[in-house]
């Protein structure tokens, strides 16, 4: 969970226990997942604490007409106790009582309600009533409550509520409080393209915090939606993209950005990769750090492949000095995701003397991996001519490891290509005895 | 978990209060913060009980006299 989730969870716990923001500072050491688990346990225990009496109240209420029960509920019990009793009534009864209560009071109850216990009632209330209560909550700026309910509403009801939300900033703010993150892709589907575009532009117009929150949100989208959003972002032009890259760098958001970059269409990724900001060493260093932290090498390598050669050289200078374990991670990713051309393109731009570690790790790979690597050299823009200067810095023993793969007759053409390139730059004399044993 | 004896005692009280094993992440809290959490939960429960008592007393006054006895019987199990 992200920093945004943490903020949202603290607000929700504060509400449940009637704690001020200052009192909540005592729980700064807790992460969002712990806060959420704790909140749900507290909510259950508060309910259980008075369960016996609440059940008797629910039972006694059956003796009285709905209008009277609704009136007593509103005037004597108040929103908190009504919220607790809701889960003990049948959905039909609860909805019948709600019909006698004003929207304002139902909004009060919604703020206290544990939505887990109210799914059936909400379904019984009907779309129009839910929208009316949502409007009250919107007018109060109750985005936390609205976000909590998103998890429990049918999509057609959510669509109706979204229609009455006029400002993108509000939509974004409510989305931050949604707990069921997998639903975010479904919800994105409710937005027509112009609205989605406006939402993304709003994120770009905001301050750093808005970017942080928006990108955290986008990281919960599925691949299809990341691709669509990536394309929209790129179509907004250089100024917007530069702002995005700057924000990702300034706020260390590459772990949220990289999955979007990885899901973009090739054309969109090329446009993003052409941004001058992405050629800065400190930016690429933070990209590499995020890729390592989040194990996002499958998203990192396509970005590297899309970079302009000068920027790729900068990326290569960052990668060539990484520890062996990280380089092995990258090699494993290139093999598992068939991203050899991207990795070899990166290796080709490394400083020959610095590339030794990466190259040694490559030639030490299993035979099957070496075959896949050679196929990539055969079929891509990376030529032996670019790679051979690096081989000068490899020990003979390591070069000999490559001979294993050339023993396979299927690699005859690759060996010919290597030989032609090596003869041209005067390296074949050294390589021949090592590779053609 | 490297909790102090005080924390262990507070965690045990929290377990009883929550009726469940508290999330493991709570071990990151100081003794004082754990105690604050326990007190806050107890205070919230006490407030809820008081609100419920007061709501029932007040609610009964508007129940029609003819039905009040039956309602009281359900609420207080014949009391």
CA atoms of A408 and A423, how far apart (whole Å): 22
Packing angle of the helix pair A309-319, A340-348 (nearest 10 deg)? 90
Q: Residue A30 and residue B25: Cβ atoms within 8 Å?
A: yes
- DSSP-based three-state secondary structure for B21: coil
CA atoms of A324 and A251, how far apart (whole Å): 28
Sign (positive or negative) of CA dihedral A40, A45, A51, A57: negative
Interface test with B, best of A37, A60, A80 (most B CBs within 10 A): A60
Nearest to B74 among A37, A59, A84 (CB): A59
CB contacts, 8 Å: B69 with chain A: none
Provide Rg for chain A, Cα atoms.
Answer: 30
Q: Residue B19 and residue A48: Cβ atoms within 8 Å?
A: yes
**Count of CB pairs separated by less than 8 Å, A with B:** 116
Packing angle of the helix pair A384-391, A356-363 (nearest 10 deg)? 100
Residues A207, A210, A212, CA angle at the centre, nearest 5°? 110
Q: Are B72 and B79 in contact (CB under 8 A)?
A: yes
Nearest to A46 among B23, B26, B48 (CB): B48
CA atoms of A136 and A288, how far apart (whole Å): 46
Residues B38, B42, B45, CA angle at the centre, nearest 5°? 145
Q: What is the pLDDT of residue A108?
A: 95
Burial A118-143 (b: 16+ CB within 10 A, else e): bbbbbebbeeebbbbbbebbbeeebb
A92: tokens are 């039909």
CA atoms of A295 and B9, how far apart (whole Å): 40
Give 10-residue mean pLDDT values along chain A (437 residues). 72 91 91 93 92 90 90 90 90 94 96 85 91 97 90 90 90 84 85 86 74 76 86 88 86 86 92 92 91 92 94 92 93 94 90 87 91 77 79 88 87 86 90 84
CA-nearest residue of chain B to A34? B25
Q: What is the pLDDT of residue A182?
A: 80
Which residue numbers of A have CB closer than 8 Å to B's CBs? 16-19, 23, 26-27, 29-31, 33-34, 37-38, 41-42, 44-46, 48-50, 53-54, 56-57, 59-60, 63-64, 68, 71-72, 75-78, 80-81, 84
Interface test with A, best of B14, B27, B39, B56 (most A CBs within 10 A): B56
* DSSP 8-class letter at B27: G
Please report which confidence band the pLDDT of residue B1 belongs to, taking 50, 70 and 90 as the band edges: very low
Q: What is the pLDDT of residue B79?
A: 44
CB contacts, 8 Å: B64 with chain A: 68
CA atoms of A297 and A333, how far apart (whole Å): 6
Q: What is the pLDDT of residue A172?
A: 84
Burial A329-344 (b: 16+ CB within 10 A, else e): bbbebbbebebbbbbb
Q: Residue B51 and residue A81: Cβ atoms within 8 Å?
A: yes
CA atoms of A18 and A12, how far apart (whole Å): 10
Backbone angles phi, psi at A385, to 5 degrees: -55, -35
Please report which residue ranges of A31-90 form alpha helices under DSSP H.
32-49, 51-60, 66-72, 78-86
CA atoms of A404 and A402, how far apart (whole Å): 5
CB contacts, 8 Å: A70 with chain B: none
CB contacts, 8 Å: A22 with chain B: none
A425: tokens are 């730059």
CB contacts, 8 Å: B77 with chain A: 56
A183, with CB counted inside 10 A (0-12, 13-18, 19+), is middle
Nearest to B33 among A26, A57, A64 (CB): A26
The answer for residues whose C-beta is within 8 angstroms of residue A223's C-beta and 6 or more apart is A263
Please report which residue ranges of A278-425 form alpha helices under DSSP H.
281-293, 297-306, 309-319, 324-336, 340-348, 356-363, 367-378, 384-391, 396-406, 412-424
pLDDT in tens, B19-70: 999 999 998 999 999 999 999 999 999 999 998 888 888 888 888 888 888 8
Q: What is the pLDDT of residue A365?
A: 92
CA atoms of A278 and B21, how far apart (whole Å): 48
Q: Residue A63 and residue B67: Cβ atoms within 8 Å?
A: yes
Packing angle of the helix pair A281-293, A297-306 (nearest 10 deg)? 150
A433: tokens are 């005895």
Nearest to B22 among A38, A48, A71 (CB): A38
CA-closest candidate to residue A32, choices A55, A7, A58 = A7
Q: Residue B62 and residue A48: Cβ atoms within 8 Å?
A: no
Compute CA distances A50 → A84, A119, A211, A435, whole Å: 9, 21, 43, 80
């Amino acid at each position: 969970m992200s920093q945004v989730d943490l903020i949202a969870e603290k607000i929700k716990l504060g509400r449940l226990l009637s704690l001020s923001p200052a009192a909540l500072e005592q729980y700064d050491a807790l992460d969002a997942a712990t806060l959420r688990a704790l909140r749900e346990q507290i909510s259950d225990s508060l309910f259980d604490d008075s369960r016996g009496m609440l059940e008797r109240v629910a039972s006694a209420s059956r003796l009285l007409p709905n209008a009277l029960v609704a009136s007593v509920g509103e005037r004597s019990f108040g929103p908190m106790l009504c919220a607790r009793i809701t889960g003990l009534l049948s959905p039909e009864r609860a909805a019948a009582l709600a019909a006698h209560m004003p929207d304002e009071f139902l909004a009060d109850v919604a703020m206290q309600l544990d939505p887990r216990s109210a799914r059936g009632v909400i379904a019984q209330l009907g779309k129009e009533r839910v929208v009316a209560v949502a409007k009250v909550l919107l007018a109060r700026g109750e985005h936390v409550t609205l976000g909590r309910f998103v998890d429990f509403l049918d999509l057609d009801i959510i669509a109706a509520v979204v229609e009455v939300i006029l400002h993108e900033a509000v939509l974004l703010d409510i989305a931050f409080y949604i707990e069921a993150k997998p639903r975010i892709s479904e919800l994105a589907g409710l937005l027509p393209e112009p609205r989605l575009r406006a939402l993304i532009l709003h994120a770009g117009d905001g301050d750093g915090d808005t970017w942080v929150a928006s990108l955290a949100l986008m990281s919960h989208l599925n691949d299809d939606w990341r691709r669509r959003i990536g394309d929209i972002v790129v179509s907004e032009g250089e100024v917007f993209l530069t702002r995005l890259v700057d924000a990702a760098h300034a706020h260390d958001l590459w772990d949220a950005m990289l999955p979007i970059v990885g899901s973009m269409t090739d054309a969109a990724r090329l446009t993003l990769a052409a941004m001058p900001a992405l050629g800065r060493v400190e930016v690429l260093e933070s990209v590499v750090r995020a890729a390592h932290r989040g194990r996002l090498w499958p998203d990192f390598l396509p970005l590297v492949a899309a970079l302009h050669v000068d920027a790729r050289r900068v990326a290569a200078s960052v990668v060539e000095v990484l520890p062996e374990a990280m380089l092995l991670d990258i090699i494993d990713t290139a093999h598992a995701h068939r991203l050899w051309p991207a990795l070899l393109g990166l290796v080709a731009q490394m400083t020959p003397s610095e590339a030794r570690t990466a190259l040694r790790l490559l030639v030490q790979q299993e035979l099957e991996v070496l075959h896949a690597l050679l196929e990539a050299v055969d079929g891509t823009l990376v030529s032996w001519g670019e790679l051979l200067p690096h081989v000068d810095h490899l020990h003979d023993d390591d070069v000999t490891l490559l001979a294993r793969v050339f023993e396979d007759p299927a690699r005859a053409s690759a060996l010919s290509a290597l030989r032609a390139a090596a003869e041209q730059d005067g390296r074949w004399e050294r390589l021949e005895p090592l590779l053609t044993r | 978990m490297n909790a102090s004896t005080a924390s262990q005692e507070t965690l045990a009280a929290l377990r009883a209060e929550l009726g469940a094993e508290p999330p493991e992440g709570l071990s990151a809290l100081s003794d004082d913060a754990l105690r604050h959490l326990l007190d806050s939960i107890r205070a919230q429960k006490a407030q809820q009980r008081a609100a419920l008592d007061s709501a029932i007393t007040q609610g009964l006054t508007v129940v029609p006299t003819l039905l009040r006895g039956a309602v009281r019987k359900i609420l207080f199990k014949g009391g």
